């Protein structure tokens, strides 16, 4: 009887530890999802950039820092990337519609500033690497 009590207590402690791990990992996943949402807005120009991509923030930390690329370089690259990306959005029979969900409204005549161009450029690089696409 004494041994049975120890076995039951051991079983309960193992069960309780495993349920705690599940809750912890669920909480970590929720935190990762909320921290992987990047929002940039400028009310005076009436634009908003929202990047919701798991792992993007961590990947961005490993890339060249802000100021590494010039603004004109980023604008030229973003013009090319958005044109190619938007063409693929319009061809769902040819390109995966789960990857190319909606068009990116990037107007090369608007000065979005360095931060937006830097993040958009890096998002395209991330997109190419993660999903093995070539937008150039």
Alpha helices (runs of H) in the chain, residue ranges in sequence order: 2-35, 56-60, 71-89, 114-131
Token pair for 117: 């161009």
Model pLDDT, residue 4: 45
CA distance 133 to 128: 5
Model pLDDT, residue 81: 97
How many Cβ atoms are within 10 Å of 77's Cβ, its own excluded?
A: 18
Model pLDDT, residue 84: 96
* pTM of the entire predicted model: 0.70
Chunked in runs of 10, what are the mean pLDDT values of the chain (136 residues)? 47 49 44 59 70 89 94 96 96 94 91 92 95 92
């Amino acid at each position: 009887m004494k041994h049975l009590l120890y076995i039951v207590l051991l079983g309960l402690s193992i069960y309780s530890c495993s349920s705690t791990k599940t809750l912890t990992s669920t909480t970590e996943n929720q935190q990762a999802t909320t921290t992987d949402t990047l929002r940039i807005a400028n009310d005076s120009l009436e634009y908003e950039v929202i990047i919701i991509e798991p792992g993007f923030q961590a990947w961005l930390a490993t890339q060249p820092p802000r100021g590494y690329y010039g603004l004109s370089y980023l604008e030229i690259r973003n013009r090319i990337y958005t044109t190619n990306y938007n063409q693929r959005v319009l061809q769902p029979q040819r390109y995966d519609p789960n990857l190319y969900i909606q068009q990116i409204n990037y107007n090369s005549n608007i000065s979005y500033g360095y931060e937006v161009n830097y993040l958009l450029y890096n998002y395209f690089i991330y997109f190419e690497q993660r999903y093995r696409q070539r937008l150039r």
